[in-house]
Structure 1
Amino acid sequence: MDHPSTPLVRQNHHSESDRPCDRSAAGSGVSLRHGLGAHRVRPRATSRDHIDDIALRLFLDRGYPNVTTDDLIRACGVSRPTFFRYVTSRDAIVLDHIAAFGEEVAGLVRENDSQLVWEVLREAMCGAFESLDPNSRAGMAFRILQASPGIRSSALELTRTWRSQLTEALVADSHYDGDAQRCEAAAAMAIGLFQMTWARPRASTDVLRNAFNEAPALTTTRPDQN
């Protein structure tokens, strides 16, 4: 019997940032009445995490291409200089979390004692994604990437940094006898496979793991195929 695939980014209803201050900041403002006068008060984002919580939800609600920097500034209730004190660009609100995910995967590579390079890369990438909360900041960032081809193309620019991180981790663990070129080739293949998989709207962790399992056979030629 076939078993349903586990969604690549699991769905649930709880967020790491469901705090009262974040919920109030997600709207455009609240009305407070003092005496006979009513005043419109804009909630203010007070940290980078707070800005990210508001922005990522707005991207998911409206679609990334439909949210401008001015929209984000208004939603956060801060001035433009304050906004850019925390955030370098609109894209960075999403991509910084993808970059942090890459650092996490590199850390898992270092922790794995297996001598099989492809197994180490598979377990690091699949394990990190399987444990990803869809409503965490990284989880929301990946959901935005899956729905927005434009920001996906920008994410490809992170590949060089991620490849370097994985290569260093593999070399440090003496894979391929510390041959940096071979380690980099393995890292590049794993990243390419990962990117092809999570970019699919209906991707799942099962699909990702199966792709890693099948990849070695795709590069092996059997004698009867010569």
Structure 2
Amino acid sequence: MAWKWLVAAVLLMTAVVACTHEPPPYESRYTPPPPPLGAPAPLPPGASFVDTFDRPDTQLGLGEGWDLRESIDNSALPLSATDGFIRAGRYASASMTNVFAVRKFRSKVRRIGAEASWTRVGDGPAETLFMAISANEKITSDLVQLAVNPAEWEVSTRRNGHFWRVVRGRFDPPLDLDRDYRFEMDAADGSITATLPNGVRTGRVGTSDLLSERAFWRHGFDPADPRPAGARFAANIVWVAEEGQTLVPVPSADSG
């Protein structure tokens, strides 16, 4: 009878293995270490600041509290922008400049997000949405950043003007045009987590010296590519979670 118990055990083990699935390729296999002693606890879901751009169209600017900047030299404070506006309840851009919508918040920003879509306007490359938490008023010299376009995404940090890629990936298939998608980046001391349409990815990196109360959302182009934009993005919701502030759910675009 012992052989029957052996056969039963083998069959049970085979069934368990057969029901164990590998995680999808877009899921990170890295589990970040626990935060250092004294580090702030992970933030619960939600946001402490949300802008749905649900207000009249503008020719330039986004309204009170927003500062639009244009990057000329990353070593200097970006100049005032000549582009960037609200159109039909969305933050949009119309030129080939790198426009930054910058805000200074009440306390340190730990999470930044946006809901956006891309629209075909030509045959060139797609515009890139950059979302970043900045360490100082230069906004581009030291930061934690998530960059996304319909084909790919990347999380990176920058210190003293030098980039370090943390984690990256592709959207396969690419994101649909004229459809809203949500993107979010959480920064903790020791890791950065990106929440994307195709999953959640985490990369290990120190961030404590890169976080402050400043953040921006940027319309970005590759200056080395002379072609006009092929697809432009417009954001209909942006949000952040500030350390120590009350968090509420991020609304849907049609919630009013």
- Whether these two folds match at TM > 0.5 is no
TM-score, normalised with respect to structure 2: 0.22
Report which of the two has the higher share of helix. Answer: 1
With structure 1 as the length reference, what TM-score do the two structures score?
Answer: 0.24
The answer to which structure has the higher strand fraction is 2
